[in-house]
């Protein structure tokens, strides 16, 4: 076994047939990946059949199936419960975030400085695809509002790329079933006084035509979750 392998990659997946094989290959190519825990959240486009084939081909891939679709938060809740490695990272099933950058997020965890690491799309020198102006403004405003209520100084609360010591996740109960996971976990990590670091990562965002799923309704839910969980630290 590779001595560097210390990471459970938890991947929520819903209708990602176009990218799932490529992202699985990239995750398994990382020297840090001990296991890839995929939660298929009711896919109907043939993704699940591809995943069932990949499980047979790769002994480090574990697949959990949910029916019907329950949302990203629900998929992550199940994946976190199944993770067994020392560290856990969230990886979407598309190609927006690069598994080749796991080392950047893991460094503060491995050397004992951090309990949680966020990969910021708004810091660093990595390549970033230029897309939606109002999305970037919305992300920054949600991050600002979250920071005001949690007393953190994050630059990208909404990033998918979040890495944790496994015991941090085991101490938190995730309640949100959809994209409210991001503000919820941020509020609960802050309430738990865990050491949080942030590192710059690259970002290859996709368009709605290419499969992007988050919408304006999720932004309003995020606002509600920021208020709800920042004012209820006992809900960790």
Question: What CATH number is associated with residue 169?
Answer: 3.90.550.10
Interatomic CA distance for residues 165 and 117, integer angstroms: 9
Domain count of the fold of the chain: 1
Q: What is the mean pLDDT of residues 175-200?
A: 96
Number of continuous H segments (helices) and E segments (strands) in the chain: 8, 7
In this structure, what are the phi and psi dihedrals at residue 203, rounded to the nearest 5 degrees?
-155, 120
Cβ-contact 176, 168 below 8 angstroms: no
Q: For residue 35, tell me if it sits in a domain.
A: yes
State mean pLDDT over 143-157.
96
Task: Tell me the average pLDDT across 109-123.
Answer: 96
Its domain, for residue 115, covers: 7-235
Buried b vs exposed e over 182-192: b needs ≥16 C-beta within 10 Å?
bbbbbbbbbbe
156's tokens: 């990208």
pLDDT of residue 230: 83
What's the rounded Cα separation, in Å, for the pair 44 and 52?
A: 14
Helix residue ranges per DSSP H, 58-132: 72-82, 102-110
Distance CA 49, CA 148 (A): 44
In a domain, 2, yes or no: no
| Max Cα distance, the chain (Å) | 47
Comparing CA positions, the residue from 5, 3, 6, 38 lying closest to residue 21 is: 38
Chain segment 41-55, per-residue pLDDT in tens: 999 999 999 999 999
Higher pLDDT, 12 or 136: 12
**Above 60 in pLDDT, residue 206?**
no
Instruction: Please report whether residue 128 resides in a domain.
Output: yes
What pLDDT does residue 215 have? 63
Q: Looking at the domain assignment, is residue 141 inside a domain?
A: yes
Q: Which residues contact 21 (CB under 8 A, 6 or more apart)?
A: 50, 54
pLDDT of residue 234: 46
The residues facing 102 across adjacent strands are none
| Contact assessment for residue 5 and residue 36, using Cβ atoms and an 8 Å cutoff | no
Asked, for residue 139, whether it belongs to a domain, the answer is yes
Question: Is 1 domain-assigned?
Answer: no
In a domain, residue 127? The reply is yes
Q: Is residue 71 part of a domain?
A: yes
Q: What is the Cα–Cα distance from 65 to 75, expressed in whole angstroms?
A: 9
Cα Rg for the chain, rounded, in angstroms? 17
Report the pLDDT averaged over residues 61-79: 96
Specify the pTM: 0.91
What's the confidence (pLDDT) of residue 24? Answer: 98
């Amino acid at each position: 076994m590779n001595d560097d392998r210390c990471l459970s990659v938890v991947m929520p997946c819903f209708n990602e047939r176009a990218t799932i094989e490529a992202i699985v290959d990239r995750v398994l190519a990382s020297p840090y990946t001990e296991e890839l825990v995929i939660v298929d959240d009711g896919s109907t486009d043939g993704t699940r059949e591809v995943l069932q084939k990949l499980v047979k081909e790769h002994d480090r891939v574990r697949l959990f199936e949910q029916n019907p679709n329950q949302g990203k938060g629900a998929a992550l809740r199940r994946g976190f419960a199944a993770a067994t490695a020392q560290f856990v990272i969230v990886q979407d099933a598309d190609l927006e975030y690069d598994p080749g950058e796991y080392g950047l997020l893991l460094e503060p965890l491995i050397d004992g400085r951090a309990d949680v690491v966020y990969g910021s799309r708004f810091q660093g020198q990595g390549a970033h695809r230029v897309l939606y102006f109002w999305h970037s403004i919305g992300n920054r405003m949600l991050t600002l509002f979250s920071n005001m209520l949690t007393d953190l100084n994050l630059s990208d609360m909404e990033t998918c790329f979040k890495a944790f010591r496994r015991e941090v996740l085991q101490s938190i109960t995730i309640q949100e079933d959809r994209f409210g996971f991001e503000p919820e976990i941020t509020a609960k990590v802050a309430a738990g006084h865990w050491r949080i670091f942030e590192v710059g990562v690259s970002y290859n965002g996709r368009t709605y035509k290419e499969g992007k799923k988050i919408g304006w309704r999720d932004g309003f839910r995020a606002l509600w979750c920021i208020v709800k969980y920042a004012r209820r630290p006992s809900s960790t």
